Amino acid sequence: AQTVTQSQPEMSVQEAETVTLSCTYDTSESNYYLFWYKQPPSRQMILVIRQEAYKQQNATENRFSVNFQKAAKSFSLKISDSQLGDTAMYFCAFMTRTTSGTYKYIFGTGTRLKVLA
Amino acid sequence: DVKVTQSSRYLVKRTGEKVFLECVQDMDHENMFWYRQDPGLGLRLIYFSYDVKMKEKGDIPEGYSVSREKKERFSLILESASTNQTSMYLCASSSRGGSRYTQYFGPGTRLTVL
């Protein structure tokens, strides 16, 4: 079965510091998409960053970047210059094809990140 | 901007009641999803739909059904609510291939079954 594992239930980081959230996944597919989503307290879940598995270059979005290691099936999120607004639950997700030819997503259990002033 | 709305932010129902949760998206997305979110368990897929009147079971469909009569609307139905269905329910939509498969989420409905 395809799975997504986030081994850090909670983390904290000082404002302006860098933090890395880990994610590993298991799949036999060769082409897929990986995502990090952010859910701020009492607010809507939004996309942080996305990575296509066929691209070797790691995705970056401003202060957010990923370290994608395809062979190791690892997809970690690095947040640089952490800000108080980064306090949120972060979910790693993997997109997989279904037997009917459509696709669905598998989410990890989340990492609750708190940025400290 | 994509907008996904859910009919209620908070809902309290009694055991055995039939419960309807509605989700509407305004971006003409083909795919729509219902998840439940529980602490320590992350998001688990209940059902999804890839076209009008088309649906597919997710990982935890037991006790739930869905309806998609119009492209923009996806309903989750709890035929006979039970206390173990107390949870946060999230709806999401995505385009088939567009936006490189990004899902857009609604604000969630926190359902309490007494």
* Better-scored residue on pLDDT, A55 or B14: B14
Please give the mean pLDDT across all residues of chain B: 93
Contact: B90, A45; criterion CB under 8 Å? yes
pLDDT tens-digit series, residues B25-37: 998 999 999 999 9
| Residues in chain A closer than 8 A to B35 (CB atoms) | 107
Position of tokens 């994610």? A23
| Residues in chain B closer than 8 A to A46 (CB atoms) | 105
pLDDT tens-digit series, residues A32-81: 899 999 999 988 999 999 998 888 899 999 999 999 999 999 999 999 99
A1: which residues sit within 8 A by CB, 6+ positions away?
A26
Residue A1, pLDDT above cutoff 80 = no
pLDDT tens-digit series, residues A77-95: 999 999 999 999 999 999 8
**Alpha carbon A34 to chain centroid distance?**
7
Residue B98, pLDDT above cutoff 70 = no
* Better-scored residue on pLDDT, A43 or B69: B69
> By the CB < 8 Å criterion, does B11 face chain A?
no
Q: Which residue in chain A is spatially nearest to B10 when comparing CA positions?
A: A42
Q: Measured between CB atoms, which of B96, B100, B108 is closest to A50?
A: B100
Q: What is the 3-state secondary structure (H, E, C) of A36-98?
A: EEEECCCCCCEEEEEEECCCCCCCEECCEEEEEECCCCEEEEEECCCCHHHCEEEEEEEEEEC
